[in-house]
């Protein structure tokens, strides 16, 4: 996933601009991260991975991991014969120049351990002045209501600390997976289907 194969679509401007400027100013932004939220399938993982790949090409250490995978791997370290240790995974998440946390808050209910891991990683990286880029499927309504903030702790502190370290961009582009499936079903091109949606 690169910037080259990312197509500018209606609504994708803010996320694209935020990620490209975060790449450009990476050396000077310190802990200032990126929070891209919006509907599923609208390019959030693609655009952040594209930015991560650019930084890897420039010699930075970048980790891209989905929340589910991260939690599963940390959980698996409880088995004594697990191939990676808790310290190795946590260390990598804290030491990478950039951590891309894909699908933040995708877990419906967080266990006490998961809440603690989120705190350890976000707090540790903040102290080290290192950024996190997050993608999330939360809706603008969920974002505004603040309800989601209380899933992390009962004072909503963790959430607002995370968000306080990030530039947020709402990706309003539509679900490209759905568009592709619909275009295929109708036997027309994606461009043609998008034109029809826009009533052209
Ligand atoms: N603007 C875009 N240009 C090119 N491909 C895109 C674009 N947006 C999404 N895609 C592709 O559509 C699929 C879903 O996008 P993805 O980034 O995984 O969505 P999200 O993370 O928002 O759920 C991926 O295969 C991705 O490469
Ligand atoms: Mg995604």
pLDDT at 200: 66
187 lies in a domain? no
188 lies in a domain? no
Q: How far is the CA of 22 from the centre of ligand 1 (A)?
A: 19
100 lies in a domain? yes
The model's pTM: 0.95
Confirm if 169 and 36 have CB atoms less than 8 A apart.
yes
185 lies in a domain? no
User: What tokens appear for 77 in the block?
Assistant: 């370290």
Question: Which of the ligands is closest to the CA of residue 175?
Answer: 1
- The Cα angle at residue 69 between residues 66 and 75, in degrees rounded to 5: 140
Q: Which residues in the chain land under pLDDT 50?
A: none
Exposed, middle or buried: residue 83 (CB in 10 Å: 0-12, 13-18, 19+)?
exposed
CA distances from 166 to 22, 36, 80, 159, 198 (A): 10, 10, 37, 11, 32
> Which ligand 1 atom sits nearest the alpha carbon of residue 40?
23
Question: Which of the ligands is closest to the CA of residue 3?
Answer: 1
State which residues form the domain around 81: 13-174
User: What tokens appear for 146 in the block?
Assistant: 């603040």
Residue of minimum CA distance from atom 7 in ligand 1? 43
Backbone angles phi, psi at 47, to 5 degrees: -70, -40
Alpha carbon distance 122, 142 (integer Å):
21
DSSP reduced 3-state for 37: strand
Among 176, 180, 182, say which to mutate for ligand 1: greatest number of ligand atoms within 8 Å of CB.
176
53 lies in a domain? yes
Q: How far is the CA of 81 from the centre of ligand 2 (A)?
A: 31
HEC profile of 8-23: CCCCCHHHHHHHHHHH
198 lies in a domain? no
Q: How far is the CA of 6 from the centre of ligand 2 (A)?
A: 14
pLDDT at 72: 97
Confirm if 127 and 93 have CB atoms less than 8 A apart.
no
pLDDT at 158: 93
Contacts of residue 78, defined as CB under 8 A and 6 or more positions apart, other chains included, come to none
* CATH classification at residue 116: 3.40.50.300
DSSP strand pairing (98-102 vs 132-136)? parallel
196 lies in a domain? no
pLDDT at 125: 98
Residue of minimum CA distance from atom 4 in ligand 1? 6
Question: Which of the ligands is closest to the CA of residue 44?
Answer: 1
Number of domains in the chain: 1
Compute the Cα dihedral for 82, 86, 90, 91 and give only its sign: negative
61 lies in a domain? yes
């Amino acid at each position: 996933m690169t910037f080259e194969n990312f197509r500018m679509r209606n609504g994708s401007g803010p996320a694209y601009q935020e990620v490209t400027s975060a790449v450009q100013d990476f050396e000077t932004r310190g802990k200032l991260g990126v929070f891209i939220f919006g509907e599923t399938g609208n390019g959030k993982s693609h655009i952040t991975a594209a930015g991560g790949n650019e930084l890897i090409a420039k010699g930075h250490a970048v980790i891209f991991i989905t929340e589910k995978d991260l939690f599963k791997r940390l959980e698996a370290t409880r088995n004594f014969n697990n191939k990676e240790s808790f310290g190795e995974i946590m260390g990598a998440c804290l030491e990478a120049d950039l951590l891309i946390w894909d699908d933040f808050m995708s877990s419906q209910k967080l266990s006490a351990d998961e809440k603690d891991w989120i705190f350890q990683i976000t707090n540790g990286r903040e102290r080290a002045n290192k950024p996190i880029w997050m993608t999330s499927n939360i809706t603008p309504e969920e974002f505004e209501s603040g309800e989601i903030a209380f899933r992390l702790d009962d004072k909503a502190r963790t959430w607002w600390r995370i968000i306080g370290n990030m530039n947020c961009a709402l990706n309003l582009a539509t679900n490209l997976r759905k568009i592709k499936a619909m275009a295929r079903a109708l036997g027309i091109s994606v461009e043609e289907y998008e034109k029809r949606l826009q009533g052209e």
